[in-house]
Amino acid sequence: MAGTKSLGELGLTAQGGREARITGLSVDSRQVKEGHLFAALPGSRMHGAEFIQYALRMGAGAILTDREGVEIARAELNASDAALIVTEDPRQTLAYTAALWFERQPETVVAVTGTSGKTSVATFTRQIWQALGRVSANLGTMGVMGDFTAPLAHTTPEPITLHRVLREMADAGVTHAAMEASSHGLDQGRLDGVRLDAAAFTNFSQDHLDYHANFDDYFAAKAGLFARVLPEEGTAVINIDDARGREMLEIARHRGQRLLTIGRNPVADLCITSQRFDATGQDLRFTFDGKPHLVRLALIGGFQAENVLAAAGLVMAAGEEPEAVFGTLPGLVTVRGRMELAAKRDNGATVFVDYSHKPGALASALQSLRPHVMGRIVVVFGAGGDRDRLKRPLMGEAAAAFADVVIVTDDNPRTEDPAAIRAEVMAGCPEATEIGDRAEAILRGVDALQPGDALLIAGKGHETGQIVGTDVYPFDDAEQASVAVAALEGRI
């Protein structure tokens, strides 16, 4: 990466043909340095153009914005000699600019989208590559993990952060990367400029309707991965068991992308033919090119088979031999907070922690846990504040339908009234027990476990904090489960 780049080298043209030597990129006016390109982007609460005056005071050499941004900051821009770039979609422009600024990415990059399973698929993809000797990492909800690690504030970071991290990964020798593609990230063009070899679609159910106008808008955002980001020569790995998966398949087919399908449908390229479950995992039988394969997976939950085959499909689409890929599958380990075995009682009852915080994901988690459990399923869960309210009673309905004992508690209430959130969840499961304190709810759930039972603590997964108001208090579901078991068994 050069110390400075011209606008032309970044694919930009300023009004009036003005030129500038760019020394860096910023979306936060407080981080602007002399010669930076400041991207003044439209936002949900205010337009970034409101901060152009501050960016100019910090020495910004160029401003990237849209026509609305120009109108908002006209006085500052008229009084400045900074280069001005105006585009219809400044977010997408910034993404491509960031790719050109940071220049390097890992040689092989794949992405996965869908309502649930993104973290598991990306992590399994990285694990398969590592087993095959590739220097690899995955990035998303849990940060960057693998042969390179780094924290991330968002599942799909804004373009400057994303492309800087990809550059750092490449510089560190990472050759293979798997990334999660969130609907927010796709809608805001954050992935544009990432050079993808393949992309996967897992499933589609209700989520993020606090951001997206409706289901179709939400689906269209995810479809952008195949309709816009994945190049025509890329490979689309699609779960065709999902009803919207068939729509995604047609979008990829229309683009001329190579197709690799997964699912239980007999026409799927990677076809699940049977599963056998026990307390520690499952045996998976599937076919590829008409040939049957049988592998042992140390993973809880039938849905994990779809996640594993999606990951296998991505790795194969990126150039690895199928037989070599299939040989790595028994070594896959569960992702932290995704159907993670957190504790076990002396009577044999088990406690699992899962990130499922959407109606479809919670239903799937409970249904998938059932074949592994001889006794009852107890579930402890809540719903997050300042998020889609429509899903709260639906989560209650899912819990009531697929668990035997239901305890409703607080998740991350954020700035909402926790009792009001619980009431909306309880509307879907009126027979449930309500315990606001999450630690007490987990203790009560563990205490209810009889031999052969299992407890699912849902909603927060890998998270190590609980957000109350604007404060974050230390809280780890898996740790709390272990403490509860130890206390009840007299170990502490």
Q: How confident is the model over 76-115, as pLDDT tens digits?
A: 999 999 999 999 999 999 999 999 999 999 999 999 999 8
pLDDT: is 184 or 254 the higher one? 254
Rounded to whole angstroms, the Cα distance separating 91 from 37 reads 13
pLDDT digits (tens, 9 = 90+) for 284-321: 999 999 899 999 999 999 999 999 999 999 999 999 99
Token pair of 78, please? Answer: 């008229």
Q: Where are the extended beta strands (E) located within 163-302? A: 176-180, 198-201, 235-239, 258-263, 270-278, 281-288, 291-297
- Within 10 angstroms of residue 126's Cβ, the number of other Cβ atoms is 26
- Identify the band that residue 1 occupies on the pLDDT scale cut at 50, 70 and 90: low
Q: Which of 380, 210, 390, 235 is nearest to 320 (CA)?
A: 235
pLDDT: is 210 or 476 the higher one? 476
Cα dist from 338 to 117, 260, 355, 459, whole Å: 9, 25, 6, 10
Mean pLDDT of the chain: 94
Classify residue 151 as left (phi > 0), alpha (psi -120 to 50) or beta: beta
CB contact at 8 A, 419 and 391: no
pLDDT computed for residue 212 by the predictor: 43
Any idea which residue has 């001889």 for tokens?
374
Report the SS3 class of residue 108. strand
- Check residue 396 and report its DSSP letter: H
Q: How many CA atoms lie within 13 A of 181 on its CB side?
A: 34
Residue 216 sits at φ, ψ, to 5 deg, of -65, -40
pTM, 2 dp:
0.87
Q: Which of 440, 437, 343, 425 is nearest to 391 (CA)?
A: 425
Q: Which of 150, 152, 143 is nearest to 123 (CA)?
A: 143
